[in-house]
Amino acid sequence: MTSVDQLTRRTMLTKSGGLLSLAAINHLGACQGNQVSLDQHFPATAKHVIYLFMSGGPSHVDTFDPKPELTRRNGQPIPESYIKDVHFAMIPSSTKQPNLQASPFKFSQHGESGIAVSELFPQVASMADHLAVIRSAHSSVFNHDPAVNLLNTGDSRVGRPTMGSWVSYGLGNMTEEMPAYVVMTSGVKRQPLLTSYWSSGFLPTEHQGVELRNTGSPILFLDNPPRVTRAERRQQLNLMRWMNDRRFTATADPEIQTRIKQYELAFQMQMEAPRLMNLAHETATTLEQYGVQDGKPSFARNCLLARRMVESGVRYIQLYDMGWDSHDSLEKQHARQCRAVDQPIAALLSDLDQRGLLAETLVIWGGEFGRTPVIQGGGGNWGRDHHPHGFTMWMAGGGVRGGTVFGATDEFGFHASEDKVDVHDIHATALHTLGLDHERLVYRHQGRDFRLTDVSGNVIRDILK
């Protein structure tokens, strides 16, 4: 098979969207020596992922995990049994038994399913019947950076590929005019967002997340220099192609054909990316629905862009919203954060739904951990510390059974206690909706087959249709 054939095959594979990417096939073929299956591991219920990452750690007991007992025992020291072997990130160890802190926000039940959501998320609450709320997520990593790594790569250390890269590697893309894995950011900066959060780790860099920028051109180096018009670029590419073809004739190196192809793709991306980012053709109603204001960078704009990415065939879209790390002034800060994301998230879900895209798009919401049910600081500026021992995430769309609550934390919302969900379970479940078996999506590195879920991970079947 010549390289040109290979390329056509690749195009076919990626266009069809339902097959393993050529990269993965080649890899599996080369390393396992087994016959390669061109099918996904099983039928997919989702083709895209939108991961809404609340960076800094949203408080579960103030949003999706109501705790009447916490309210009842507000101000009392937490019983010692709960905090045996628990390290707090910021609450000093001299505070032997920090006090329980009730949520100041009211919870009420929503939708036919009657899922309890606090008043911080009135609009997301109206979509309750689409949500599968996981109240028993847990980990042991209580610092931001390692915890974000864990949520993204399944390991708190740097160096592993992020979930978006695994998905790009496993499934390829459905468009050639945009990257398979894009990242957008918004919010109030507290912790830095590091490029390692969308790194491809040991997977080839083509699977790395591409950050869409809030200022300047949306993709780094997308714009021609001022001295080259689009027509002139076309002319340049034609000459390059002529030269490269001659080289190919001389050397027969298929890599040259690939390069020609990549330059053509880049040329198309220069058209497609700005078109996608341009909201001029969205109706005023849509803009209003999301709460987008004159194209200003915001979480709302990113949500609308995420829908447009899904429409254009982008595989994995991750939105980071910063500013959730409320060590102090939690009431004020969480109210501000939720105000900025509540309406856009609800708009995204209902917009996707109306366009028939929610059925094929898995939406994930969560932070790198929750926040302590015990108080940090005091007075009017009280806050909550990092809390990995039990927190809430939710999923919607893409084969997820809406109106579900899965798992539970203890009476105070401290430890995950029922149907505990490990971070690897989240990953296994997400891959499952995409038709990928987390135990079979492997990449050989340093003499062993690596997985996103390493040696663990169980699909949470109860939240799937």
Pick one of 70, 137, 171, 219: the residue that binds other proteins (CB under 8 A): 219
Q: Is 271 in the site for other proteins (CB under 8 A)?
A: no
What's the min distance (Å) between Cβ of 362 and other proteins?
25
Q: Is 90 in the site for other proteins (CB under 8 A)?
A: yes
Pick one of 84, 96, 106, 157: the residue that binds other proteins (CB under 8 A): 157
Pick one of 4, 266, 359, 408: the residue that binds other proteins (CB under 8 A): 266
What's the min distance (Å) between Cβ of 35 and other proteins?
8
Closer CB to other proteins, residue 242 or residue 293?
242
Identity of the residue numbered 95: T
Residue with tokens 């195009």: 11
Q: Is 222 in the site for other proteins (CB under 8 A)?
A: yes
How many CA atoms within 13 Å lie on the side-chain side of 429? 29
Q: How many CB atoms lie within 10 A of CB 314?
A: 25
Closer CB to other proteins, residue 225 or residue 356?
225
Closer CB to other proteins, residue 179 or residue 367?
179
- For CA atoms 202, 203, 204, 208, the dihedral sign is negative
Residue 130 is given by DSSP the state G
Could you tell me how many residues of this chain bind other proteins (CB under 8 A)?
Answer: 67
Residue with tokens 């298929």: 254
What's the min distance (Å) between Cβ of 284 and other proteins?
30
Rounded-to-integer distance, Cα 224 and Cα 220, Å = 11
What's the min distance (Å) between Cβ of 49 and other proteins?
21
Instruction: Supply angle C-alpha 242, 265, 216, rounded to 5.
Output: 120
Question: What is the DSSP secondary-structure string of 5-26?
Answer: HHHHHHHHHHHH-SB--HHHHH
Q: Is 251 in the site for other proteins (CB under 8 A)?
A: yes
Rounded-to-integer distance, Cα 367 and Cα 134, Å = 13
Stretch that binds other proteins, among 5-13, 214-222, 292-300, 368-376 (CB under 8 A): 214-222
In the structure encoding, which two tokens stand for residue 202, read together? Answer: 């040991």
What's the min distance (Å) between Cβ of 430 and other proteins?
23
Rounded-to-integer distance, Cα 202 and Cα 321, Å = 26
CA nearest 154: which of 401, 380, 354, 451?
A: 451
Binders of other proteins among 328-387, rule CB under 8 A? none
Question: What is the DSSP secondary-structure string of 80-105?
Answer: GGGGTTPPPSSS-TT-SSPBB---SS
CA nearest 105: which of 321, 299, 333?
A: 333
Closer CB to other proteins, residue 264 or residue 288?
264
Give the CA dihedral 337, 392, 310, 199, nearest 10 degrees.
90
For the chain, what is the total number of helices (H) and then of strands (E)? 12, 17
In the structure encoding, which two tokens stand for residue 403, read together? Answer: 């109106």
Contact pattern from residue 97 through residue 136 relative to other proteins, giving x for each residue in contact according to CB under 8 A and a dash for the rest: ----------------------------------------
Helices (H), 313-422: 330-354
Closer CB to other proteins, residue 266 or residue 359?
266
Q: Is 262 in the site for other proteins (CB under 8 A)?
A: yes
Task: Write phi, then psi, for 297 (nearest 5 degrees).
Answer: -60, 130
Pick one of 179, 313, 370, 390: the residue that binds other proteins (CB under 8 A): 179
Closer CB to other proteins, residue 270 or residue 372?
270
What's the min distance (Å) between Cβ of 226 and other proteins?
9
Contact pattern from residue 400 through residue 439 relative to other proteins, giving x for each residue in contact according to CB under 8 A and a dash for the rest: ----------------------------------------
Contact 299, 319 (CB under 8 A): yes
How many CA atoms within 13 Å lie on the side-chain side of 458? 9
Stretch that binds other proteins, among 12-20, 161-169, 393-401, 443-451 (CB under 8 A): 443-451
Q: Is 174 in the site for other proteins (CB under 8 A)?
A: no
Rounded-to-integer distance, Cα 282 and Cα 304, Å = 9
Closer CB to other proteins, residue 142 or residue 290?
142
What's the min distance (Å) between Cβ of 407 and other proteins?
25
What's the min distance (Å) between Cβ of 426 and other proteins?
22
What's the min distance (Å) between Cβ of 207 and other proteins?
9
What's the min distance (Å) between Cβ of 338 and other proteins?
23
SS3 state of residue 156: coil
Helices (H), 17-62: 22-32
Q: Is 84 in the site for other proteins (CB under 8 A)?
A: no
The site for other proteins (CB under 8 A) is made up of 32-34, 87, 89-90, 143-145, 157-159, 179, 185, 189, 191-196, 199, 204-206, 210, 213-216, 219-225, 227-228, 232-233, 235-236, 239-240, 242-244, 247, 250-253, 255-256, 258-260, 262-263, 265-266, 269-270, 446-448
